[in-house]
Amino acid sequence: MRCAFGLFALLLAVPPAAAEVPVDLELVLAVDISGSIDPYEAAQQRRGYVDAWSDPAVITAIRSNFHGRIAVTYVEWSGAEHQRTLIDWRLVADEADSLALASELAEAPVTRGMYTSISSAIDYAVTLFDDNGFVGERRVIDISGDGPNNRGRPLAAARADALARDVVINGLPILNDRVQPWNLPTPMEIELDRYYAEQVIGGPGSFVVVARGFDAFREAILNKLILEIAGREPEPARRFAGRAGG
């Protein structure tokens, strides 16, 4: 009897596990910082995210959903061994939350890496959904970058594993004709938009929004964020004609 009472008292003393916060969307922003992105381009890319999170249209999109809140984390990646969570998971439900995220991004140092491993970025991003404190109606990885996969395991395998876990992958390829390191072909020459549409994105409602140069990155990321948050897809006339399914 005393043993049973002691066990009961012990169970009462253990605090219950923290409940996961329901959100409309769990979003991993996975941003390319590989060697093909020079300091000017890196600054433009970061500025695009800062400006987008400062835009009232993002909050309007968040409030258009059932819960009226999303969870976001911001990751920088390059080669197979380089993935870094710059901003950990946080709740964004109002203008103060969004502006705080923009401010933290603006103050964080801009770094660069070597090589381009989209597959490793996806693998890393998928693990971030585990025990993150949130439970979303949708889980999305957003990959932005200016080159194809050239390191890590096959991209198709990483993509398939993410889709098997009901994670949607969207893409924001950056098209430009700037001279690339080591005389590599430019994103325009390799049709990076088609590459993203056919080999990177996947899952229900997945899509590509193309940034035609780093100077156009702000508008592209803002449009993409609004679509992602609201659970919509680009209009057919603006959607890249590539494969979007899983």
How many structural domains compose the chain? 1
What CATH number does the domain containing 215 carry? 3.40.50.410
Higher pLDDT, 113 or 4: 113
Q: Identify the band that residue 38 occupies on the pLDDT scale cut at 50, 70 and 90.
A: confident
- Cα distance from N-terminal residue to C-terminal residue, the chain: 57
Q: Residue 240 domain-assigned?
A: no
Q: What pLDDT is stored for residue 40 in this prediction? A: 81
Could you tell me if 29 and 73 are in contact, meaning their C-beta atoms sit under 8 angstroms apart? yes
Higher pLDDT, 27 or 14: 27
Residue environment code for 95-126, b if the CB has 16+ CB neighbours within 10 A, otherwise e: eebbeebbeebeeeeeebbebbbbbbbbbbbb
Q: Residue 36 domain-assigned?
A: yes
Mean pLDDT of 35-48: 84
Q: Residue 10 domain-assigned?
A: no
Percentage of the chain surpassing pLDDT 90?
65
Is 70 in a helix, a strand, or coil?
A: strand
Q: How far apart are CA 108 and CA 134, in angstroms?
A: 24
Q: How far apart are CA 145 and CA 30, in angstroms?
A: 9
| pLDDT beyond 80 at 5 | no
Q: pLDDT for 191-221, tens place per residue?
A: 899 999 999 999 999 999 998 877 788 899 9
Q: CA geometry: angle at 55 spanning 52 and 58, to 5°?
A: 80
Mean pLDDT of 163-181: 82
Q: What pLDDT is stored for residue 6 in this prediction? A: 52
Q: How far apart are CA 122 and CA 143, in angstroms?
A: 8
Q: How far apart are CA 173 and CA 148, in angstroms?
A: 10
Q: Residue 149 domain-assigned?
A: yes
Structural domain span for residue 213 = 20-230
Q: Residue 204 domain-assigned?
A: yes
Q: Residue 244 domain-assigned?
A: no
Q: Residue 8 domain-assigned?
A: no
Q: What pLDDT is stored for residue 103 in this prediction? A: 97
* Average pLDDT for the chain: 85
Question: Position of tokens 């249209």?
Answer: 57
Question: Position of tokens 């800062």?
Answer: 50
Q: pLDDT for 65-124, tens place per residue?
A: 999 999 999 999 999 999 999 999 999 999 999 999 999 999 999 888 888 999 999 999
Beta bridge partner(s), residue 142: 29, 170
Q: What is the pTM of this model?
A: 0.86
Phi, psi of 158, rounded to the nearest 5 degrees: -65, -40
